[in-house]
């Protein structure tokens, strides 16, 4: 029978592909973005409490009240912006669902949405499922947005611009000047913004997380998506949220209520308790990741690998051109099989894959694993 596949060309994600290869060849997997260390024990304690005390039925559609209270507090404390917990926050099953609902709320048949390559892999299929058209703009040589390129791509059909800050895989963050440029482009047009901010709290060296949602000029136009998985080292829990104006949240919820309806309640309750008990958790976590980033980058530099600056996220991009001119995909496969370290080739995140010698490594790993990875890389590259 002909299923009439919606995505005949689509294969499994690069994360699955490289993860399987890593397992097959017993390589250290720095490919997929997840921590290999445990979350705070208090989170588990509260999770267990809620699981065994009656929090196993449907949660409210927009999310557990206590968690939305904590998001209000966090947002006020961090960005000075007061959210309305009833109308402006929606808890989703991971940022993946949040991004999907945001795209589905805005994008219909023939609508164009501008996104930046390299782009997180779920964006394009989300747009295409909604009959929309993904319009790709490549980041510049420093992995920053060239707003002239964006301006050139605006048409009567442009419905939204999808940004990601801090950026995966590049680790760059938006600046004040980026926000000004974004505003200049959309000010007189009916263009919305989806802002993927899953790494907003993993930000380094005094860089500020700048969200269009926190900018009064763009608040009404923005759906900002975040994830607790990244922040609390529980990516498997898949708890995320979207902040947006009352009007945009209402549209988002129309989708969310028929996709998952609600998100696992015990996880939400436990995260809320964690946020209440440890308000400094966020700052401590960013400091911890700063130290891991520096430790890893130093090791990589010492063995001759070039590293790109990381302003935010837990990804380190490296340039292996001093060692090989092979394409990044070929090199990533060889490195896994022979060097026993797995990274992600970044060309896969482009509509038109460039010739490049750049891999992405995740440094949300224990110091032992980071050190061992550098030792393996050294042995392989400098043999």
SS3 letters across 58-98: CCCCCCCHHHHHHHHHHHHHHHCCCCCCCCCEEEECHHHHH
Between 124 and 377, name the residue whose CB sits nearer to ligand PLP: 124
Min CB(124)–ligand PLP separation in Å: 13
Residue 201 binds ligand PLP (CB under 6 A): no
Residue 235 binds ligand PLP (CB under 6 A): yes
Query: Judged by CB under 6 A, which of 19, 31, 33, 345 binds ligand PLP?
Result: 33
Between 225 and 318, name the residue whose CB sits nearer to ligand PLP: 225
88 and 248 in contact (C-beta within 8 Å)? no
Pairing, β 89-92 against β 306-307: unpaired
Query: Judged by CB under 6 A, which of 164, 211, 231, 249 binds ligand PLP?
Result: 164
Between 14 and 318, name the residue whose CB sits nearer to ligand PLP: 14
Q: Which residues contact 348 (CB under 8 A, 6 or more apart)?
A: 14, 121, 329
**Quick count: other Cβ atoms within 10 Å of Cβ 121?**
14
CA triplet 301, 303, 308: central angle to 5 degrees? 30
Measured N-to-C along each axis, helices 367-381 and 281-302 cross at an angle, to the nearest 10 degrees, of: 20
Min CB(255)–ligand PLP separation in Å: 15
285 and 231 in contact (C-beta within 8 Å)? yes
Query: Among the candidate windows 136-144, 207-215, 233-241, 320-328, which touches ligand PLP by CB under 6 A?
Result: 233-241
Residue 196 binds ligand PLP (CB under 6 A): yes
In the block, residue with structure tokens 């009064």: 216
Residue 200 binds ligand PLP (CB under 6 A): no
Q: Find the length of the chain.
A: 383
Min CB(62)–ligand PLP separation in Å: 17
Residue 198 binds ligand PLP (CB under 6 A): yes
Q: How far apart are alpha carbons 45 and 341 in whole angstroms?
A: 34
Query: Among the candidate windows 130-138, 149-157, 216-224, 227-235, which touches ligand PLP by CB under 6 A?
Result: 227-235
Between 59 and 377, name the residue whose CB sits nearer to ligand PLP: 59
Between 286 and 303, name the residue whose CB sits nearer to ligand PLP: 286
Query: Judged by CB under 6 A, which of 43, 95, 269, 362 binds ligand PLP?
Result: 95
Residue 31 binds ligand PLP (CB under 6 A): no
* Residues 279 to 308 in contact with ligand PLP, rule: CB under 6 A: none
Size of the site for ligand PLP (CB under 6 A): 15
Strand partners, 312: 203
Query: Judged by CB under 6 A, which of 19, 94, 339, 345 binds ligand PLP?
Result: 94
Min CB(96)–ligand PLP separation in Å: 3
Between 96 and 130, name the residue whose CB sits nearer to ligand PLP: 96
In the block, residue with structure tokens 């224990």: 366
Residue 316 binds ligand PLP (CB under 6 A): no
Between 122 and 175, name the residue whose CB sits nearer to ligand PLP: 122
Residue 229 binds ligand PLP (CB under 6 A): yes
Query: What is the H or E stretch that residue 260 is in?
Result: none
Read off φ and ψ for residue 85, nearest 5 degrees: -65, -25
**Quick count: other Cβ atoms within 10 Å of Cβ 266?**
21
Distances (CA, A) of 33 to 15, 198, 316: 9, 12, 11
Residue 168 binds ligand PLP (CB under 6 A): yes
**Cα 10 → chain centroid:** 21
Query: Among the candidate windows 78-86, 89-97, 205-213, 322-330, which touches ligand PLP by CB under 6 A?
Result: 89-97
The 99-118 site mask, x for binding ligand PLP (CB under 6 A), equals x-------------------
E strand map for the chain: 28-29, 89-92, 112-117, 133-138, 158-164, 192-196, 222-227, 240-244, 306-307, 315-319, 341-342, 344-345, 358-362
> Where do contacts with ligand PLP occur on this chain (CB under 6 A)?
33, 94-96, 99, 120, 164, 168, 196, 198, 227, 229, 235, 238, 240
């Amino acid at each position: 029978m002909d299923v009439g596949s919606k995505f005949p060309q689509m294969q499994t994600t690069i994360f699955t592909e490289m993860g399987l290869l890593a397992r097959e060849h017993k390589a250290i997997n720095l490919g997929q973005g997840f921590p290999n260390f445990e979350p705070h024990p208090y989170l588990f304690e509260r999770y267990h409490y809620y699981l065994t005390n009656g929090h196993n039925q449907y949660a409210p559609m927009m999310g557990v009240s206590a968690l939305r209270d904590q998001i209000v507090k966090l947002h006020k404390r961090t960005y000075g912006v007061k959210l309305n917990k009833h109308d402006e926050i929606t808890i989703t099953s991971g940022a993946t669902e949040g991004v999907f609902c945001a795209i589905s709320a805005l994008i219909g048949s023939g609508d164009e949405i501008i996104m930046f390559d390299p782009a997180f892999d779920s964006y394009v299929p989300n747009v295409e499922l909604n009959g929309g058209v993904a319009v790709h703009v490549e980041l510049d040589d420093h992995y920053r947005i060239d707003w002239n390129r964006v301006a050139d791509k605006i048409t009567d059909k442009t419905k939204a611009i999808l940004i990601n800050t801090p950026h995966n895989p590049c680790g760059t963050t938006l600046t004040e000047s980026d926000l000004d440029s974004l505003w200049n482009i959309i000010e007189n047009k009916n263009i919305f913004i989806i802002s993927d901010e899953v790494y907003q709290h993993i930000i380094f060296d005094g860089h500020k997380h700048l969200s269009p949602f926190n900018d009064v000029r763009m608040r009404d136009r923005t759906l900002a998506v975040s994830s607790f998985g990244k922040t609390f080292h529980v990516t498997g829990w898949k708890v995320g949220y979207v902040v947006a104006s009352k009007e945009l949240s209402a549209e988002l919820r129309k989708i969310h209520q028929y996709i998952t309806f609600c998100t696992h309640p015990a996880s939400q309750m436990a995260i809320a308790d964690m946020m209440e008990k440890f308000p400094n958790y966020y700052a401590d976590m960013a400091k911890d990741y700063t130290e891991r980033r520096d430790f890893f980058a130093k090791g990589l530099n010492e063995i001759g690998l070039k590293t790109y600056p990381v302003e935010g996220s837990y990804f380190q991009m490296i340039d292996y051109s001093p060692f090989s001119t092979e394409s990044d995909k070929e090199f990533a496969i060889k490195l896994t099989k022979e060097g026993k370290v797995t990274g992600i080739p970044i060309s896969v995140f482009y509509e038109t894959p460039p010739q490049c010698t750049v891999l992405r490594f995740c440094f949300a790993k224990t110091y032992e694993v980071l050190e061992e990875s550098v030792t393996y890389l050294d042995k392989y590259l400098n043999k």
